[in-house]
Structure 1
Amino acid sequence: MKKINLYILALCALFLFSCNDEDDVVISEKKENRFDLPQGNHDFDDQIVEWNNKYGTYVLYKFSNPDINYQFTSNAKYDVREEADEEGIRAAVQFLKEDFFDLYTDEVKKHLFPSKILMAGMLYTQDNYVPLWDTISDGGFDFQRGYMVRGVDHITLPHVDKDFAQRIKNPQYRKRLKLAINRTFIQFLMNPLDDVIAKIDHENIINTFGAYSLISEQSAQEGVTDPYSSKNRWYQEKDLYQLGFLEYGTYWYFWEPFYWTAPDKDDDFYSFLEFIFTQTREELYTNPLYTNYPPIKKKCDHLLETFAKHGITL
């Protein structure tokens, strides 16, 4: 029996070893990264080196597929087929400075920023002949919002081509990209791929946030106890806000009675993030949704206060 057990253990060890992929990258601390800077001899390289010296973050425009597919096990998903364009990189570095780095304190940049920010030229998903644009849509069916590509230790701008410098001059495009990268940064903090590398107490933040959501009276009478259950339904549109939501999950309109259902907790969280991101603090505090609906006010205040403790002003 002992021989059989030893044989099985040996096979398991051999299997695990054979599953190792040369594209896998070992998880490392931010300070132990493996890239040499500068990657070139351009004016924007000075800024990239300065960021690395101050905060330990590598802003890279030359990298390999394993760097963007950085996972605990081999899980190649993206294929970089063209490096970022020089003029695009110059504009992207300026964008990163003004609309990302300059928005946060030194402590946040040192301790909470990702290890890498990658700038890709043409980025493809596996077996896809159409390159990614600049963001990936995610969220509830009727409430899609854009996110950057992200991984265990990086956020990636996937379309830094020769036309990026022109596109970023468009105020609407720039605003959308600014929202996307800062939204993705919060997502990077709130949805770590493993608790071992979590940088903040993300579960407590979102659970406290979710505790302010309410259940409709009829759903409560039917025994619903989870405000994020698809059985948490309401039949008047205005009840959306009274229950503490900004977006619904689904809207049933095929036959009466028409009804709305609660969103899932993550979509609810990011809808509030969007609500806060897209207005000044003064606008938020005078917004009727904030002033007239206590659950919405409580959720906003919780997010503002919690992230402020980490040095992040939403």
Structure 2
Amino acid sequence: MKKIRFWSLILSLVLGLSGCYKEGALHASMENEKVYSEYDLPQGDHDYDKDILEMFKKYNTLFLYKYNPKDIYYNTDEYVNGTYFPEKDSTAAGLFDVPSDEAWVGKQVKLLQELWLDYYPEEFLRQQLPLKVFLVDSLYSAKSGYGSPVELLNNNYLVCRGVDYILVTYGSSRIDEMTKADKYEFKRVLHRVFLDYLDIPVTAEFAAIGNYTIFSNVNNKPYIYRYGFINWDNSSTPQRDWFSYIDAIVDHSYEEWISDGPSGFLHPSKDTQGKIREKYNLVIEFFKTNYQIDLQKISNDLSSYGE
């Protein structure tokens, strides 16, 4: 089979809260650019290599279990990976990756299809998936000091993103050891990182509802629900407010949204003015109308993994 060949872009990677995030992401366009990379498909002769090649044809995205570490660790103008010096038994702070075990990549790809890709229309994914999806076993950060990176572990990351890639973990035998809670967390982070990667601009209708001047005075924090905000720390601009709603919809089932609990943002005790419901409806309808995506279904289905 004729191999596919592309040239690579410079990547960007910055650590963030639910995985690795890059600040100031590019706005998603409706057309995937034809960008070239140094990677060839197929990368091996496993049965799943045929599936990965079919996924490339379908989505115009390279799912890669063999990769050059520089494509993960370059942060535009610096190299952000850590280094272990065995002769000194010391570690320089940074990121460390563990490549996928090729015996388990087939299961890893199927898991991504089930927990992530199946929730989006094929044409949407073809237009909006990044150029590359790196398949690894794990990604973690370590602090500087004497000892191995594992001994100096700082954070583990389930999912990571850069300018033109998303990195996903669980490419090893531990995929068979995932509990329902593990699947819940992995799925939740997958969708949050992907939707964050898209950086879809806030709509004018949504932005018009909020009074963002309240964030200039911390004394207004107890009244955020009254003004239609659900997160004091991440809602100070229309775009950040928009993302806080997208994140919360993916994170919490509709039952949670209407409950009298900490995530019951639509409950009358919190949504006293109806502004949260108004914003919620705008986000849900925007994704259904423009992309045929049911965001609430993603989080509703998540609840079954947490049992």
Q: Indicate the TM-score class for this superposition, using the shorter chain for normalisation.
A: 0.5 to 0.7
What is the distance in 2 between the residues matched to 1:172 and 1:87? 24
29-38 or 264-273, which deviates more: 264-273
Offset of 1:74 from its aligned partner? Answer: 2.8
The residue that corresponds to 2:114 in the other structure is: 98
Q: 1:264 to 1:32 in 2, by over 3 A?
A: same
Offset of 1:80 from its aligned partner? Answer: 5.0
Aligned residues: 239
The residue that corresponds to 2:286 in the other structure is: 306
Higher relative contact order (CA 8 A, sep 6+): 2
Q: 1:105 to 1:240 in 2, by over 3 A?
A: same
Q: 1:304 to 1:75 in 2, by over 3 A?
A: farther
SS of the equivalent of 1:123 reads: strand
Q: 1:180 to 1:30 in 2, by over 3 A?
A: farther
The residue that corresponds to 2:265 in the other structure is: 289
Offset of 1:279 from its aligned partner? Answer: 4.8
User: Structure 1: where are the runs of 5+ without partners?
Assistant: 1-23, 136-147, 191-199, 216-225, 250-261
Amino acid of the structure 2 residue aligned with 1:297: R
The answer as to 2:182 corresponding to 1:173 is yes
The answer as to 2:258 corresponding to 1:272 is no
1:62-90: CA deviation from partner (whole Å, max 9, x where unpaired): 1112222465x333224555321134423
Aligned pairs (5 A) from 1:1-314: 25-26=9-10, 29-30=33-34, 32-69=36-73, 73-78=76-81, 79=95, 81-125=97-141, 129-130=149-150, 132-135=155-158, 148-167=159-178, 170-190=179-199, 200=200, 202=201, 204-205=202-203, 208-214=205-211, 226-229=213-216, 231-234=217-220, 237=222, 239-249=223-233, 263-265=235-237, 268-279=241-252, 289-290=265-266, 292=268, 293=271, 294-308=274-288, 309-314=290-295
What is the identity percentage for the equivalent residue pairs of Structure 1 and Structure 2? 26
Q: 1:62 to 1:127 in 2, by over 3 A?
A: farther
The two structures have a TM-score, normalised by structure 1, of 0.64
User: Structure 2: where are the runs of 5+ without partners?
Assistant: 1-7, 12-31, 82-94, 296-307
Amino acid of the structure 2 residue aligned with 1:116: K
Offset of 1:46 from its aligned partner? Answer: 2.2
Offset of 1:153 from its aligned partner? Answer: 0.7
What is the distance in 2 between the residues matched to 1:210 and 1:116? 33
**Which structure: greater helix fraction?**
1
What is the distance in 1 between the residues matched to 2:57 and 2:112? 16
The two structures have a TM-score, normalised by structure 2, of 0.66
Offset of 1:311 from its aligned partner? Answer: 3.6
CA RMSD of aligned residues (A): 3.2
